[in-house]
Amino acid sequence: MKIADKGGFLATLPLGIALLLGAISAEAAQDRFIVVQSTTSTQDSGLFDHILQMFTKKTGIEVRVVAVGTGQAIKNAQNGDGDVLLVHAKPAEEKFVGEGWGIERYNVMYNDFVIVGPASDPAKVAGMKDATAALKRIAASKAPFASRGDDSGTHKAELGLWKAAGIDVEAVSGSWYRETGSGMGPTLNTAVGMSAYTLADRATWASFKNKAKHRIVVEGDAKLYNQYGVILVNPKKHPRVKAEAGQAFIDWLIGAEGQAAIASYRPSGAQLFFANARSTRHAGTR
């Protein structure tokens, strides 16, 4: 709560009380922020730079983002190191809510994953529409593949695709299959540097500046669908959670203004995220 000094009210009070009220007012103003634990893709793609200023301008609430892999973001939220969780690994999100760490999960937006690779395309997968068939071909050719290996949403999706392809990547880790243990940007740099294939979210790939001769080689498979969800961290688990401000952010994000802000993010004219909160209020389906 901000205490206004209308008509010089503070000046009429004893010095000690005036200083105390002034300090409370300053502290309240500084406390108008929330922490969002989120993925590297929402940050690295430039989406947050685009939409968060709109929310802050409307509400006066600053949003401070901790951008890490989804697995780490969930752990951070479980530790109470954030007010809102915004990630892209639906089963893990539902588990987070089911165990009581979060209040409710809402769809926010979606895009897709793509497989990128060198122009030489040693596994001959360019133009394929079946992601698992492409991964089988990459494995058979032993062409280098760079994995994030960081328990992120992208990494979870990649492991699911390898499992569907019947490939045990744990058994070949360190050979043609390399785990970087880092975010999407560094992993893309590694893939470019070693002429390797990798799985990336489309938004981060579109914003990536060091593409060299790498390009998208596989896209368009329904299995590459990438849904994002948002959850308020449960204040009953962590009383420090700013539930009111956090829910205000969620309501804005899944409401008409936030959804329009997401849809309006079109760097270089290409839409990178597709708002779909209205498709279902809860976890729902695609």
User: Which positions of the chain have pLDDT values less than 50?
Assistant: 1-4, 6, 18, 21-29, 281-286
Residue 233 counted as domain residue: yes
Give a yes or no: residue 133 inside a domain: yes
Which phi and psi angles does 79 have, rounded to 5°?
A: -80, -5
Do 144 and 43 belong to one domain?
Answer: no
240 and 107 in one domain?
Answer: yes
Residue 157: predicted pLDDT: 97
CA 43/CA 65 separation, integer angstroms: 8
Domain boundary among 197, 224, 251: 224
Question: What pLDDT is stored for residue 8 in this prediction?
Answer: 56
Rounded to the nearest 10 degrees, the angle between the axes of helix 256-263 and helix 47-59 is 150
- Looking at the structure, tell me whether residues 118 and 93 fall in a common domain: no
Dump pLDDT digits (tens) for 151-177: 999 999 999 999 999 999 999 999 999
**3-state DSSP assignment of residue 286:** coil
* Total domains present in the chain: 3
Pair (22, 51) in one structural domain: no
Determine, yes or no, domain membership for 284: no
Q: What is the pLDDT of residue 268?
A: 83
Amino acid code (one letter) for 175: S
Q: Write down the pLDDT at residue 17.
A: 57
In a domain, 286, yes or no: no
Same domain, 182 and 158: yes
Contact assessment for residue 96 and residue 102, using Cβ atoms and an 8 Å cutoff: yes
Q: Same structural domain for residues 95 and 41?
A: yes
Find the DSSP H helices in 84-228: 90-98, 131-141, 153-165, 169-172, 184-193, 202-207
Residues 127 and 153 in one domain: yes
Considering the entire predicted model, what is its pTM? 0.84
> Domain check: are 130 and 217 in the same one?
yes
Which pLDDT belongs to residue 278? 81
Indicate if 253 and 208 belong to the same structural domain.
no
285 occurs within a structural domain = no
Taking the C-alpha atoms of residue 216 and residue 193, their distance in angstroms, rounded to an integer, is: 16
| Per-residue model confidence (pLDDT) at position 284 | 36
Q: Are residues 147 and 215 in the same domain?
A: yes
CA 196 to chain centre: 24
- In this prediction, residue 202 carries a pLDDT of 95
Residues 83 and 137 placed together within one structural domain of the fold: no
Instruction: Give the pLDDT confidence score for residue 24 in this predicted structure.
Output: 40
pLDDT of residue 15: 63
* CA geometry: angle 36, 147, 81, nearest 5 deg: 20
- Measured on CA atoms in the order 35, 36, 37, 40, is the torsion positive or negative? negative
CB neighbourhood size of 239 (10 A): 8
Q: Whole domain around residue 150: which residue ranges?
A: 112-224
- pLDDT of 28: 47
Here the CATH number for the domain that contains residue 144 is 3.40.190.10
Q: Are residues 185 and 248 in the same domain?
A: no
Helix (H) or strand (E) holding 253: helix 243-254
Q: Is residue 205 part of a domain?
A: yes
What is the rounded distance in angstroms from the CA atom of residue 194 to the CA atom of residue 188? 10
Going through the chain in order, the beta strands assigned E by DSSP cover 33-38, 62-67, 84-87, 102-117, 145-147, 177-179, 198-201, 215-218, 225-233, 274-275
